[in-house]
């Protein structure tokens, strides 16, 4: 089965990589899909995010990196033949944000969402925090 792990990955973190590695052990293929989030001001240009994720996942034979903009996640999943969306969650706030989207995706397409809880060592890390720390 093919899964999609979507996100802006701006920048990719060790927490993201942990989720990718764990998902790679569960699925035949994992597509890490870099999405453009119009609500966020991007730090890294899309080509840099794709290249970085490609380097970070190069040792995982069943992981590939792709991007999508301007369409629903479920439409992207259909286009690549994925039946599962993988989402990493750090805590209750993430889960509260993700649950309605998971329900909508299932209602729209039948695509399920698998929530992977953050590894204890990465639960406090977010891309926003990484960017803020790098600007100090």
Q: Where are the alpha helices (DSSP H) in 4-126?
A: 14-24, 46-56, 73-80, 92-109
110 marked ligand binding residue: no
Q: Which of 78, 90, 106, 109 is catalytic?
A: 90
Cβ proximity of 135 and 43 under 8 Å: no
Annotation says 64 is catalytic: no
128 marked ligand binding residue: yes
Annotation says 16 is catalytic: yes
Annotation says 78 is catalytic: no
Query: Which run of H or of E encompasses 32?
Result: strand 29-35
88 marked ligand binding residue: yes
Task: Give me the active site residues, please.
Answer: 16, 40, 90, 127
Query: Which residue numbers belong to the known binding site for substrate?
Result: 8, 40, 73, 87
Query: Which residue numbers belong to the known binding site for ATP?
Result: 8-9, 16, 88-90, 98, 122-128
């Amino acid at each position: 089965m093919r899964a999609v792990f979507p996100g802006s990955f701006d920048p990719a973190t060790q927490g993201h990589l942990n989720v990718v590695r764990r998902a790679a052990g569960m699925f035949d293929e994992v597509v890490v899909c870099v999405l453009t989030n119009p609500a966020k001001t991007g730090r890294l240009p899309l080509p840099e995010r794709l290249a970085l994720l490609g380097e970070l996942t190069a040792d995982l034979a069943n992981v590939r990196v792709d991007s999508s903009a301007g369409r629903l996640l479920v439409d992207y999943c259909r286009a690549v033949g994925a039946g599962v969306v993988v989402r990493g969650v750090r805590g209750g706030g993430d889960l509260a944000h993700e649950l309605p989207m998971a329900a909508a995706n299932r209602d729209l397409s039948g695509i399920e969402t698998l929530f992977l809880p953050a590894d204890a060592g990465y639960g406090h890390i977010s891309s926003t925090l990484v960017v803020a720390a790098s600007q100090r």
